[in-house]
Chains A and B, each alone.
Chain A
Amino acid sequence: SATDSLKIFISNAHTFRAHFSQKLLDRNFQLIKKASGDMMFERPGKFRWVYDEPYQQLIIGDGKQVWFYDQDLAQVTVHRLDQALGSTPAALLAGDNTIERDFELQEIEVQGETEWLEAIPKAQENAFELIRLGFSQAGMLREMILRDSFDQITWLVFSETEQNPELAADLFQFTPPEGVDVISD
Chain B
Amino acid sequence: CVSPEPQRAEVTTVVIQPSLEQINLADKPFALVGRLVVNAKQQKFSGGIRWQHTQQNDEIYLFSSLGQVIAEILRDQTGVSLTTSEPTTYHAQKAEYLTDQVLGWELPLAGLQFWVRGEHYPGTIAEKDLDTNNRTVAIRQDGWSVSYRSYHAAHQPKLLEFSYNDVKMKLIVDQWGKAE
Interface residues of A (CB under 8 A from B): 24, 30-34, 54-55, 59, 66, 68, 70, 72-73, 75, 77, 79, 84, 87-88, 127-128, 148-150, 152, 154, 181, 183, 185
Contact = CB atoms under 8 A, between A and B. Distances in A.
Contacts of A59: 65-66
23 contacts: A30-B178, A32-B179, A33-B33, A54-B175, A59-B66, A68-B46, A68-B66, A72-B172, A73-B35, A73-B46, A75-B46, A75-B170, A77-B47, A84-B66, A87-B64, A127-B68, A128-B68, A148-B85, A150-B61, A150-B69, A150-B72, A154-B67, A181-B39
Which one of B47, B50, B65, B179 has the highest number of Cβ atoms from chain A below 10 Å of its Cβ? B65
Contact of B33 (A32, A66, A73, A181): A32
Nearest to B72: A150
Contacts of A79: 65-66
Nearest to B174: A54
Interface residues of B, number: 26
A32 B72 contact: no
A30 B180 CA distance: 10
A59 B179 CA distance: 24
Which one of A59, A73, A185 has the highest number of Cβ atoms from chain B below 10 Å of its Cβ? A73
A149 B67 contact: no
Nearest to B83: A150
Interface in B81-110: 83, 85, 87
A interface SS class: strand
A70 B46 contact: yes
B179 A33 contact: yes
B28 interface: no
A70 B35 contact: yes
Given A30-B179, A70-B46, A150-B69, 7 more contacts: A32-B50, A55-B174, A59-B65, A72-B172, A77-B47, A127-B68, A185-B44
B167 interface: no
Nearest to A54: B174
A73 B170 contact: yes
A62 B121 CA distance: 45
